[in-house]
Amino acid sequence: MAKRENDLGRDPIGPLLLRLAVPTVTAQLVNALYNIVDRMYIGHIAGVGDLALTGLGVCFPVIMFVSAISALVGMGGGSRAVVRMGEGRTEEANAILGSCSALLILLSVLVTVGFQLVKEPMLLLFGATENTITYAVDYLTIYLWGTIFVEISLGLNFFITSQGFSTISMATVLIGAIINIVLDPIFIFGFHMGVKGAALATITAQAVSAVWVLRFLTGKRTKLRLQRRYFRIKPRVLAPVLALGVSPFIMNATESLVNIAFNSSLKAYGGDAAVGAMTICSSVMQVFFLLLQGIAQGAQPIIGFNYGAGNLDRVKKTYRLLLISALSFSCTVWAALELFPGAFVALFNDKPALVDLAVWTLRVYAGGMFILGIQTACQQTFVALGQAKISLFLALLRKIILLIPLIYILPPFFSNKVLAVFLAEPAADILAATTTGLMFLWQFPRILRRRGEELEHLREKGATT
């Protein structure tokens, strides 16, 4: 049996969570750098940086959708596999890994071909204009050819994290990000490739990360191992995986719909400048939201494994520590963004008009960040516990039920339409987090009680046989 870096069932929870969360937070930060660094370099291209940055922002819905697929299959599969490992059913966990790998490759091909065929009209629908469409098409054309590398490196990395190999999963992202950061200025400025160079640097980096993941999951250290006999699409195996993964999928995929709604509204009310400000605001918030997810992902293996093993006290202790950590982080970030928005905006562009607009819109856009720690801790705990239906509802609540309608409902009530559009984000954040927290207080004790009854029934059944 391969040795784990961490004993999810016995190590002290505080140090264990720290050991798992630091690498996952680092990995999420570095993962954000893939697109953030692109935007930082592109935004400073002489003469056309603002238009090129806006064009790249229009591609964001597609980029998020590609990432959402990796969450659908990878996070759903990883969460289910770790419960099976906690129950001692390793072969079933390996079957989950094999089927998820086959599905990720199939979906990669479908997404690449489909989006390549409709990219230009799609980007115009997403908010591109005659000034920005060229930059958007140039970036997306190259980025889509690397979809398979994105899905493998991000999707299968969840199976590394779920085993407790958090430093290996961090290295997956770190390797790719370093390559991307090094190649970006070479391709963009050295070879004068502009946005095409940024896309090429990104997919090259993801390809190296994908090779790293595949080598580990076929190596000797891993307990979950890619095996040819399991490499097939089996509906019986994948159905519960997709049911569980649909919540993180919606969380990521709805970012695409939200971005479309924001860009189309802002294009109508404020033109390219407003869309550019939105690109900066969403880029800043993406970094901190991914860090928040990283904290939760550090706790998920502990919660899922101990829930499967029946160590319910460890589940409760891990959740409490996760909530305190996530809420402290979200409040700190909120304070920084409200007090020093200019420092974050300056990373992406230096044109006075765009900077001035982005500074005050960032303050509005980040207004509900303080409460997102509750939203993330509760929702990701539901995922770790295998509560697919609840997770799905909460994922739909924040973006589909609240945010997208508010983007269109609020502007008629404000003279400043751009302000109204940006105000939809904090309004949705506060309402969704409050609802999620109340639902968790109601459901969490019931979920643990039912699990305790299941375990007691199994013990009684075992004693009588």
pTM, two decimals, is: 0.70
C-alpha–C-alpha distance, residues 285 and 196, integer Å: 25
What pLDDT does residue 438 have?
95
Please give the distance of CA 295 from its chain centroid, rounded to a whole number: 12
* pLDDT tens profile 382-400: 988 888 788 778 878 888 8
Q: What is the pLDDT of residues 274-327, one digit of tens each?
A: 988 888 898 888 888 888 888 888 888 899 888 888 888 999 999 999 999 999
Q: What is the pLDDT of residue 2?
A: 38
Q: Residue 406 in contact with residue 428, Cβ under 8 Å?
A: yes
**What value does the mean pLDDT take over residues 437-461?**
87
Taking each continuous run of H as one helix and of E as one strand, the counts in the chain are: 18, 0
pLDDT of 294 reads: 83
Average of per-residue pLDDT values in the chain:
87
Name the residue with higher pLDDT: 108 or 278.
108
For residue 109, the one-letter residue type is V
Mean pLDDT across the stretch 443-447?
92
Helix 13-42 and helix 166-185, axial crossing angle in degrees, nearest 10 = 10
Confidence of residue 462 (pLDDT cuts 50, 70, 90): low
| Cβ atoms of 52 and 302 closer than 8 Å | no
The Cα–Cα gap between 21 and 167 comes to 10
Q: Tell me which of 18 and 322 has the higher pLDDT.
A: 322
Give pLDDT tens digits for 394-420: 878 888 899 999 999 999 999 999 999
Asked whether the beta carbons of 395 and 251 are under 8 A apart, the reply is: yes
The first and second tokens of residue 179, run together, are 């390559």
Q: Is the pLDDT of residue 335 over 60?
A: yes
Average pLDDT on 32-50 reads: 73
- Short-list 269, 278, 273, 268, CA closest to 60: 278
Mean pLDDT of 234-255: 83
Give me the pLDDT at residue 86, please: 77
Query: Which residues have a Cβ under 8 Å from the Cβ of 292 and sit 6 or more positions away?
Result: 326, 329, 330, 333, 372, 373, 376
